[in-house]
Amino acid sequence: MATQQHHTGPEETSVGNRLVQPIDRRLFLRYSGLTACATGLLLAGCDDDDDDDMATDAVKLGSGDIGVLNYAYALEQLEAAFYAQVVATPYSGITTDERTIMQAIAKHEAVHRDFFKAALANNAIKGLTPDFSKVNFNDRTSVLTTARTFEDLGVAAYNGAGPLLQSTAFLTLAGKIVSVEARHAAMIRDLISNGSFANDVVNAQGLDQALPVADVLAAAQPFIKDKIDGSQVGR
Amino acid sequence: MNLFKILSDLEQVDPEVMGRLNSRRDAFASLGNIAKKFALASAPIAIGSVFNKALAQSGSSVNDVLNYALLLERLEEAFYVQALAAPTLAANLTSGSAARNAIQKIKDNETAHVQLLASALGSAAAPAPRGFDFGNAFATYNSFLTFAQAFEDLGVRAYKGQAGALKGAPNNLLQTALQIHSVEARHAAHIRMMRRAAAGGGVQQFGWITNKAANGAPEPIYGGGNPVADHPAEDNVSQGGVNLTSLGYTAAEVSEAFDEPLDRGTVTTLATPYVRA
């Protein structure tokens, strides 16, 4: 049985009201169809994955565009918490430029986090509890390689989630953020090894990574104490 | 290649598309042939010409968008090819140096983008212009880096401005464009840090855009587009109707956290002086 997850069209939300994105009637009908799928009223043709074994206390990101935005919000919370810690307890031997860069990135991620929280309003998931027990914040390599993981993952997450968004306004907003994450990724990579800004994450066709929600959450989950349920994101 | 996904995407954009085909089976057959044609090509994107008209939306067909991206990628590729060959830059871009390796890598990415877009467009690809003339861009290492920053930041804004027009396009074209877009942003960040390094830290900038500081690049690249409501200048602090400075951040911090899209008309106007038609 499909999860009883009520699908909320963006036009009904505070985000939608703020962004004023007129919804095409055809798209609205498709939304309605998706709602029917999500609520199990229509079984034929619905391909939702059931996640019966998901812990009941998991943080549900939600469905449709709201789910995508909460997905981004979860990742931004993780990044913001990480850089806040880096700034609070800088690694030994940090240079002046490195400190400036870390402080700036910490601000950017906090802005992203607070933006999603404000935009999602009462649709926002709760504040997550990070788990950075595997990170040695006193060690430059540990900090920078973790930062690289988060930034590359963020880029891949936004690139993969863009096509899931129904609202053009949300798509543009995600685009405004992903390029900043890519700028971060390039700088962190260059701090690790100058010139590695576009190394293994960019393939022979000159394409950055794009990952599905499940893959991104699997990679992020070890750094978050709360169990995240993204099974309905974009659906 | 998920045919069902493509068909549902197409119907979303244009519910009448099926009416123009004899049957759903016809659509599958057409797509199947295209899939075979592209099966050996590594390009993840293939466009069925039968659907191009169906996908035209808001006066901006997918092919037009791809040809626009192709021209910008050709411009960037030519810029780096000329830079790597410029005698004036030889002392800075010495063989094996970090600077030359970085420029070579960026050039290789741009070449890959050109090939990807050209193969996706196939016969619909616009012919390459006669050439590109970058004037005195290569006169000094600093001027070269300033131009590079301008082109990369402009590229980021240009792709960002077209995401909406690629929504619902087949073969996950939107995602492919996003995957190019973030690579351009990686380039932009590295070039900016190369500028900072070349100036011994004297250029007060990092990998992102603070307010709308051009730092010597043409200022319109960081300014507003048309219409400005949809394409604000890079110093925009209001996102999704929320003025983010009200959350306790400075305008500089907020502007750095978001890059802004730019429309085709403005980008084309900025790029045209370098194109020899």
Q: Is the pLDDT of residue B18 over 90?
A: no
Does B120 have pLDDT greater than 50?
yes
pLDDT of residue B277: 82
A15: nearest CA in chain B? B240
Of B252 and B40, more confident: B252
Least confident piece of the model among A46-55, A177-186, B148-157: A46-55
Q: How far is CA B38 from CA A10, A149, B121, B168, B189, in A?
A: 37, 33, 12, 20, 34
| Distance of alpha carbon A77 from alpha carbon A80, whole angstroms | 5
Give the count of domains, chain B: 1
- More confident of the two residues A13 and B91: B91
Task: Assess if residue A22 is contained within a domain.
Answer: yes
Q: Report the distance separating Cα B152 and Cα B144, nearest Å.
A: 12
What CATH number should be reported for the domain holding residue B97? 1.20.1260.10
Closest by Cα among A177, A174, A155 to B167: A174
Report how many domains make up chain A: 1
- What is the domain range of residue B145? 60-224+261-276
ipTM of the complex: 0.81
**Domain membership flag for residue A79:** yes
In a domain, B70, yes or no: yes
Amino acid residing at A188? I
Best of A179, A190, A200 to disrupt the B interface by mutation (most B CBs within 10 Å)? A179
Question: What does the pLDDT average to over B149-167?
Answer: 97
pLDDT for residue A146 is more than 80: yes
Least Cα separation, residue A65 to chain B (angstroms): 14
Residue B81, pLDDT > 80, answer yes
Considering chain A, what is the average pLDDT of its residues? 84
Closest CA to A177 of B255, B228, B149: B255
Task: Say which residue, A187 or B9, is predicted with more confidence.
Answer: A187
| Tokens standing for residue A5 | 């997850």
What was the pLDDT predicted at B244? 97
Cβ distance of A186 and B176 shorter than 8 Å: no
pLDDT at position B40: 30
Residues 128 to 147 of A: which have CB under 8 A from any B CB?
none
Show the domain range for A82.
Answer: 10-42+62-229
**Least confident window among A208-212, B47-51, B148-152:** B47-51
Please give the share of chain B, as a percent, with pLDDT higher than 90.
Answer: 74
CATH for A203:
1.20.1260.10
Please indicate whether, in this complex, the C-beta atoms of B186 and A198 are within 8 angstroms of each other: yes
Contact A118 B242 (CB under 8 A): yes
Query: With 70 as the cut, is the pLDDT of residue A190 above it?
Result: yes
Q: Return left, alpha or beta for A94; rule: phi > 0 is left, psi -120 to 50 is alpha, else beta.
A: beta
Q: What is the mean pLDDT of residues A75-89?
A: 98
Average pLDDT for residues A100-125, to the nearest whole number? 97
User: Is A1 inside a domain boundary?
Assistant: no
Q: How far is B260 from chain A (nearest CA, A)?
A: 6
Q: Where are the alpha helices (DSSP H) in B44-129?
A: 49-52, 62-85, 98-121
Q: What is the pLDDT of residues A97-111, one digit of tens each?
A: 999 999 999 999 999
pLDDT of A126 reads 98
pLDDT of residue A56: 62
Instruction: Provide the pLDDT for residue A7.
Output: 45
Q: SS3 helix, strand, coil % of chain B, rounded to 5? A: 60, 5, 35
Average pLDDT over every residue of B87-99: 98
With 80 as the cut, is the pLDDT of residue A174 above it?
Answer: yes
- In this prediction, residues B140-165 reach a mean pLDDT of 97
Q: What are the tokens at B7? A: 């068909």
Q: How confident is the model at residue B171 (pLDDT cuts 50, 70, 90)?
A: confident
Check whether the bond before B227 is cis (ω within 30° of 0).
yes
Test B115 with A205 for CB contact under 8 angstroms. Answer: yes
CB atoms within 10 A of CB A27: 17
Q: Is A210 on the interface with B (CB under 8 A)?
A: yes
Predicted confidence (pLDDT) at residue A69 exceeds the cutoff of 70: yes
Residue A165 predicted with pLDDT over 60: yes
Instruction: Confirm whether B213 is domain-assigned.
Output: yes
* Least trusted range by pLDDT, from B10-19, B250-259, B265-274: B10-19
Closest CA to A180 of B13, B9, B157: B157
Q: Where are the alpha helices (DSSP H) in chain A?
A: 14-19, 25-39, 64-88, 96-120, 140-161, 168-192, 213-220
At B60 the pLDDT is: 52
Contact B176, B44 (CB under 8 A): yes
Cα B106 from Cα A202, distance rounded (Å): 11
Across A48-52, A56-60, A127-131, the highest mean pLDDT is recorded for A127-131
Residue B174 located in a structural domain: yes
Measured in degrees and rounded to the nearest 5, phi and psi for residue B199 equal -95, 10
Q: Quick check: is A109 in a domain? A: yes
Residue A84 resides in a domain: yes
Residue A51 falls inside a structural domain: no
The confidence score (pLDDT) of residue B223 equals 98
What pLDDT score was predicted for residue B203? 81
**Mean residue pLDDT across chain B:** 84
User: What is the DSSP annotation of B205-265?
Assistant: --SS--TT--TTS-GGGGS--SSTTTS--TT--EETTEEGGGGT--HHHHHHH------HH
| Across A103-128, average pLDDT | 98
